[in-house]
Amino acid sequence: MNVSVAPAAGGGGVLRADGEPARAVTDLAAEVRRLEERRPRWVWADTREVYPSLLAAGVRPARCHDLALTEGLLLAHEGRFGEPRSARAAYARLRGLPVPDDPHGPQARQATLFDEEAPEPDADLVAEVHADQLRRVERTADPHRFRLLVAAESAGALIAAEMARDGIPWRRDAHDELLTGLLGPRPVHGMRPARLQALADEVAAAFGTSFNPDSPQQILRAFKTAGVPVASTRARDIRQADHPGVEPLLAYKEMARFYSFHGWAWADQWVRDGRFRPEYVVGGVVTGRWATNGGGALQIHKLMRKVIVADDGWTLVVADAAQLEPRVLAAMAGDGGLARAAGQTDLYQALAQVFGGERDNAKIAMLSAMYGGTSGDAPKLLAVMRRRFPLAYRFVEDAAREGEEGKVVRSWLGRTSPPPSSGWRELVSGPEGGRAARDRGRFTRNFVVQATAAEWALVLMAVLRGLLPDPARLVFFQHDEVMVHCPAEQADEVIAAVGRAAEEAARLLFGATPVRFPMQAVAVRCYADAK
């Protein structure tokens, strides 16, 4: 059963179940809770608009259909990349009305919520767009797969909202201790922390002149004046210089980044009540990976992991997929040899024999194939790969060639790559055309693998969400890694659920495949203990 939902201000809204007339309710959350027993698929314009208030009321529906996310997937598949994807835009297109632009920028959600032009809550409208989308799904290259993609993307929207609400357990006291140990006590506003200032002073002493080590221009000038010019301010270029200022400068740069990315000001903004609550953007990356809006949740520094600690009596189950992308390639390409290697826990080790006995060689060969790498030993190793794993090799080569020709490519479930930019074709026919073509080839080559890996991870999470016992909660997701916060006594059950979810995700995407997708799951008190 589908139930279309249009929320209204004040906690009410309009509901419409399939085949029934729309009806207004005064307490939407209560009504959703009541109807959830019948396991409907909730259809709404945008999970980000609807779900937070339901969550606040403690309602966590099992499944939904997010019109905006689905519209984006459909438009891309239909070759209409870039058209407005909101539910209102979709409705306007259906009706031949002026199509509103998508809200964008930091005010995106406010604009969506408070736009005075917004139509009245209308469940009929939601149902109409939904029906249209279902018809369009049937016209995709593989409707069965695309339906899974839509379901997974929509589940991702639920999970993202839930994770933003639940938050990663974050110990501010431990964070402060870590920062103080590295940088010195928290400085007054506008001052450098003591350790950072000391390093800046060391740099100044080494160069015999004071300058701002945060300024790339001033760094370049300082090295030039000292008679040891550096190619850039990249750490590896600075390291080439023979000068006493190199060491303190590199130390400064490293700490300065830490201070500004993960310092006290960051914690003031993002950590509340012992939880770090980032805002995830589902499908924020063209490949279907998630992005974040502030907080930098997908770039948490490894050092920072020691401040992510389970609540008393609780535990963190941390699980990451081992070598996800080559496994995905093996399954997609149907390459028997590679699939056999991907039946092992350590895929690269299983391939070492093929590549001269070195595990590292196997890794370089696979990564070069998936990323389009050509430096170092890559050509030699790729030649081996071409001979030994011809189907996998051809799969990524085909994707690269299509990209170079300006075509779009699709993930396993049907997510479509963006077309080349408007100026690309001219660029390709110009003097630097070969480079532009190869650049795009590398992108599409990687797209098919990265996007399918993202789909596997999304399906994994959707399945896992349904298997978790209450009150265990998904609290973190980073491309191929998930974290569950749960009572300690649930750890074994959660670890088992992760394994089952991984198997189910593989089955849902690829059916019967010899490729294994092992998840290394551990229960730890502190994130830093997971690896």
Task: With beta carbons less than 8 A apart as the criterion, state whether 324 and 453 touch.
Answer: yes
Residue (of 303, 289, 221) closest to 257 by Cα position: 303
Our CB check for DNA shows the closer of 147 and 424 to be 424
Nearer to DNA, 122 or 371 (CB): 371
**Comparing C-alpha atoms, which of 221, 71, 55 is closest to residue 133?**
71
Q: How many CB atoms lie within 10 A of CB 18?
A: 14
187, two tokens: 């400085």
Q: Give the DSSP H/E element, type plus range, for residue 66.
A: strand 64-66
Which CB, 145 or 253, lies closer to DNA? 253
**What H or E segment, with its residue span, contains residue 169?**
strand 168-169
Say how far apart CA 263 and CA 250 lie, in whole Å: 18
3-state secondary structure of 480: coil
Question: Which phi and psi (to 5°) does residue 442 adopt?
Answer: -65, -40
Judged by beta carbon, residue 88 or residue 175, the one nearer DNA is: 175
Q: How far is the CB of 519 from DNA (least distance, A)?
A: 12
Q: Which is nearer to DNA, 59 or 522 (CB)?
A: 522
Cβ neighbourhood burial of 49 (10 Å; 0-12, 13-18, 19+): middle
Adjacent-strand bridge partners of 333 = none
Please say which residue, 253 or 485, places its beta carbon nearer to DNA: 253
- With CA atoms as reference, report the closest residue to 392 among 329, 327, 328, 325: 329
Report in angstroms how near the CB of residue 372 gets to DNA at its nearest: 5
The amino acid at residue 410 is R
CB of 324 to DNA, least distance (A): 8
CB 458 within 8 A of CB 450: no
Task: Give the nearest distance from C-beta 147 to DNA in angstroms.
Answer: 25
Residue 443 C-beta: closest distance to DNA, Å: 4
Q: How far is the CB of 95 from DNA (least distance, A)?
A: 32
Find the shortest distance in angstroms from Cβ 231 to DNA: 8
CB of 62 to DNA, least distance (A): 28
For the stretch 65-78, what's the b/e string if a residue is b when 16 or more beta carbons lie within 10 angstroms of its beta carbon?
A: bbbbbbbbbbbbbe
Question: Cβ closer to DNA: 26 or 374?
Answer: 374
Q: Least CB distance from residue 478 to DNA, whole Å?
A: 5
Peptide bond into 471 cis (omega under 30): yes
CB of 180 or CB of 292, closer to DNA: 292
Interface residue list for DNA (CB under 7 A): 212, 214-218, 232-237, 253-254, 256-257, 260-261, 266, 281, 284-287, 289, 291-296, 298-302, 320, 367-368, 371-376, 438-439, 442-443, 446-447, 450, 478-481
Q: How far is the CB of 253 from DNA (least distance, A)?
A: 6
Query: CA-CA distance, 467 to 10, in Å (whole number)?
Result: 33
CA distance 317 to 468: 12
Quick one: which of 124, 136, 417 has its CA closest to 285?
417
What is the nearest approach in angstroms of DNA to the Cβ of residue 187?
A: 13
Q: What is the 3-state secondary structure (H, E, C) of 275-343?
A: EECCCEECCCCCCCCCEECCCCHHHCCHHHHHHCECCCCEEEEEEEECCHHHHHHHHHHCCHHHHHHCC
Between 136 and 363, whose beta carbon lies closer to DNA? 363
Structure tokens at 235: 């750490």
Q: Are 458 and 156 in contact (CB under 8 A)?
A: yes
Compare residues 38 and 302 and give the one whose CB is closer to DNA: 302
C-alpha–C-alpha distance, residues 54 and 13, integer Å? 12
Return the number of the residue (216 or 244) whose C-beta is nearest DNA. Answer: 216
What 3-state DSSP class applies to 16? strand
In the complex with DNA, the residue whose CB is nearer, 60 or 442, is: 442
CB of 304 to DNA, least distance (A): 9
